[in-house]
Amino acid sequence: MRDSMDKVRHCLICAALVSLSATASDLHHGQLVYNGTCIACHGSDGTGGLPGVPDLTGKTGLLSQDDAILLGRMADGFQTPGSSMVMPPKGGNPALTDADLKAVLKYMRNEFQQDPQTRRKTQ
């Protein structure tokens, strides 16, 4: 019985490590996409590098919306009400895939939805 429990424990640990590795990989990929496509307008800190570009930071900001809504806007382009700026489809990079958009959304949520105090401590 103890052998069985040890095997189960080992499997659970391995599954958790694979999951953490995939998450870290997704975040790194998302960061690469963000730095290559999004950073020019949204800035390195997500606060919007140009007039009319929305601030992505904060727990109740744009990133608090549902994934399907945000992924649709990222894929199709979007103009924030009241803004003179229009985000082009895929941030102007037609080579981005659905997987790229999902990874960059995951990265932005991880980076920009945190409390600013927490974000400073983890950077």
Note the pLDDT tens digit of each residue in 92-102. 999 999 999 99
Phi, psi of 94, rounded to the nearest 5 degrees: -65, -15
pLDDT tens by residue, 46-91: 998 888 888 898 778 889 899 999 999 999 999 988 888 899 999 9
User: pTM of the full predicted structure?
Assistant: 0.74
Q: Percent of the chain beyond pLDDT 90?
A: 51
The domains found in the chain, sorted by start residue, are 29-122 (1.10.760.10)
* Nearest residue to 96 (alpha-carbon basis) of 40, 27, 30: 30
How many other CB atoms are there within 10 angstroms of residue 23's CB atom?
Answer: 12
